[in-house]
Structure 1
Amino acid sequence: MTATETSPTGGRTFRPSLLGIGLTLLGLALFVRLGFWQLDRADQKQALLDQYASGQQTQVEITSQNARTLPRYQRVKVSGRYDPAHQILLDNMPSHAGQPGYRVLTPLDTPAGWLLVDRGWLPLGATRKNLPDIRVGGEARTVTGTTDALPRAGLQLAIPPVDQSAPWPRLLSFPTHDALEQQLGRELLAGLLLLDPSQPEGYERIWEAHLGFKPERHVGYAVQWFALAAAALILFLVTSFRTKKATDESSR
């Protein structure tokens, strides 16, 4: 090569530092792991959507044989009688539009066992002492709805002691299954029955699979993490090429 010629890298050599290698490998491992975690979350959310769609296609009657094995989001029908005297108001439950309020849980005595029916959402009153009127008849009836799990808080607190003298309906915030059994003093079937909007004696009912973020949003986040991984690799490569003078000085 003559004095007038230049090398393909413009006189620069690839000489990464140990610190640069370590930081790049750490960043790549973190960004790629987060990207695949978001893709896994997207798959989980899509599975919930598929389960919801599948469960809505057929209706199953709840019996003592299948009551404890029904999948989430299965459309069902069941006969029984409401217990109007012992109802639960789930606190901190937003409406479909995000307005604060309650969801009304009413025990239903069925041949398969006691089942909590979610009769829908009601807004807050002027104060929390002004509870809504949720009276319901106790006659025999057949109800239809969709099975679901209890709402869960991001951070589950300890179960507060049960005050048996507290009036009904009782106001509870994200109770567990065990806490509800303690409040009601009876064994309950797992989960809830989300009362169909066509059923009488209910409130706002806009039911859907509980997703938080939809699968597409998780995929978008995954793309961002993978893009950060690519950017970290490119930055490492760019900064690892040094001029001959800089290389010589760093080797002294």
Structure 2
Amino acid sequence: MSRRRLAFRPRLLPSLVTALLLPVLLGLGFWQLDRADQKREIIEARQAAAEAPAVDLNAGLPTADDARFRLAGARGRFDGERQFLLENQVRDGVLGYRIITPLRLEGGHEAILVDRGWVAAPASRRHLPDTRVDSGEREVTGRLGKGPSVGLRMGPAYAGDGGWPRRVQYLDFEAMDEALPYAVPHYLLRTGAGAAEARPEGMRFGPERHHGYAVQWFALATALVVIYIGVNLRRRKDHEQHS
């Protein structure tokens, strides 16, 4: 009676499939771990910013990196003649705009873009919402940030005849800076309750979910290796070992 033992004999097709899929699965797993690290850094930066003193924007505009998530205050006058309407902003199932208004800083030649909040869109696109704002001197407080992010940018941020207020598909700070007769930093001052409640940019969920996704991708990679080994194992007789 002959005995049979297992021998690993890789075949071409399973080897090609595994060679193609395994790096992809491992890459997706490590990518999710990297995303988790990024989210953790965002949370830590937000916590550090919350503990830092508020920034006085009239004393000087910080860089975009230094401004991220910081509480800030500014004194000046709103430029009601030049405003941006960020399109496709949905609240409770209602389509609307976010009103972005430059605040001309007192005692300087610069301005800060202020996210004044959400407004419902009129029934017809031919009409614009009411964006009127008092041009008197005021003090505005809020949180600094990049504002709502978009996953895909199709074409320029805005199109049209260049009139005001100007609809924008997404926040292109360079284009907004060029459209204004004065300089603005490439971030927003978000005011009101929305500033306190706003999620950090790109923060739909925390790092824990990314860790869960990474475990899933690594599990699939492990399963692929096990399947590859299984389909390439063949039984052989003892005499085959000595032939």
Partner of 1:133: 130
| Correspondence 1:192 to 2:188 | yes
Moved more, 113-122 or 168-177: 168-177
2:130 counterpart SS class? coil
1:119 aligns with one of 116, 119, 122: 116
Aligned residue pairs: how many? 232
In structure 1, what is the equivalent of residue 208 of structure 2? Answer: 216
Aligned to 1:228: 220
Deviates more, 1:204-213 or 1:171-180: 204-213
**Offset at residue 64 of structure 1 (A):** 4.8
- 2:62 counterpart residue number: 67
| Matched residue, 2:37 | 43
Counterpart of 1:108 in structure 2: which amino acid? L
Q: How far apart are the structure 1 equivalents of 2:114 and 2:199?
A: 16
Q: Please identify which structure carries the higher strand content.
A: 2
Q: What is the alpha-carbon distance in structure 1 between the residues aligned to residue 186 and residue 8 of structure 2?
A: 62
Aligned to 1:13: 7
Single out whichever of 207-216 and 186-195 deviates more from structure 2.
207-216
Q: How far apart in 2 are the matches of 1:235 and 1:142?
A: 65
Q: Secondary structure at the match of 1:134?
A: coil
Question: What residue ranges of structure 1 are gaps of 5+ in the alignment?
Answer: 198-202
TM-score, structure 1 as length reference: 0.80
Structure 1 window deviating more from structure 2 (74-83 vs 126-135): it is 126-135
Whole-angstrom CA distance in 2 between matches of 1:154 and 1:57: 30
**Would the alpha carbon gap of residues 195 and 159 (structure 1) be closer, same or farther in structure 2, given more than 3 Å must change?**
closer
Structure 2 unaligned segments of length 5 or more: list them: none
Query: Is this contact kept in 2: 1:35–1:226, CA < 8 A?
Result: yes
If you compute each CA radius of gyration, which structure gives the higher value, 1 or 2? 1
Q: Report if the CA contact (8 A) 1:101-1:123 is conserved.
A: yes
> Quick check: 1:42–1:219 contact (8 Å CA) kept in 2?
yes
Q: Does 2:31 correspond to 1:34?
A: no
Pick aligned residue for 1:86 from 82, 86, 93: 82
Given the alignment of the two structures, is residue 244 of structure 1 paired with residue 236 of structure 2, yes or no? yes
User: Would the aligned equivalents of 1:121 and 1:205 in 2 still touch at CA under 8 Å?
Assistant: no
2:146 maps to which of 125, 146, 149 = 149
Which residue pairs with 2:198 in the alignment?
207
Counterpart AA for 1:46: R
Distance in 2, Cα, partners of 1:26 & 1:61: 54
1:169-180 to structure 2, matched below 5 A, reads 169-180=165-176
- Supply the distance in 2 between the matched residues of 1:207 and 1:65 (Cα, whole angstroms): 25
In 1, the alpha carbon distance for the partners of 2:218 and 2:172 equals: 38
Matched AA of 2:199: E
After superposition, what is the alpha-carbon deviation per residue over 1:136-167, rounded to whole angstroms, capped at 9, x for unaligned? 21111111111111544333323556734x2x
Contact 2:85 2:166 in 1 (8 A): yes
The superposition leaves residues 93-147 of structure 1 with CA deviations (integer Å, 9 ceiling, x where unpaired) of: 223x454210011110114521110011112221223322222211111111111
| C-alpha distance 153-109 of structure 1, shift in aligned 2 (>3 A) | same
Q: Is the CA contact 1:106–1:116 (under 8 Å) kept in the aligned structure 2?
A: yes
* One-letter amino acid of the structure 2 residue matched with residue 104 of structure 1: I
Please point out which of 161, 164, 189 is paired with 1:163.
Answer: 161
RMSD of equivalent CA atoms:
2.6
- 3-state DSSP class of the match of 1:94? strand
Counterpart secondary structure, 1:229: helix
Does structure 2 retain, via aligned residues, the 8 Å contact 1:87–1:106? yes
Aligned to 1:200: none
3-state SS of the aligned residue for 1:182? helix
Change beyond 3 A, Cα 1:32–1:240: same
2:236 maps to a residue whose letter is K
CA apart distance, 1:13: 2.2
Q: Following the alignment from structure 1 to structure 2, what is the Cα–Cα distance between the partners of residues 99 and 73?
A: 27
Structure 1 residue 26 displacement after superposition: 3.0
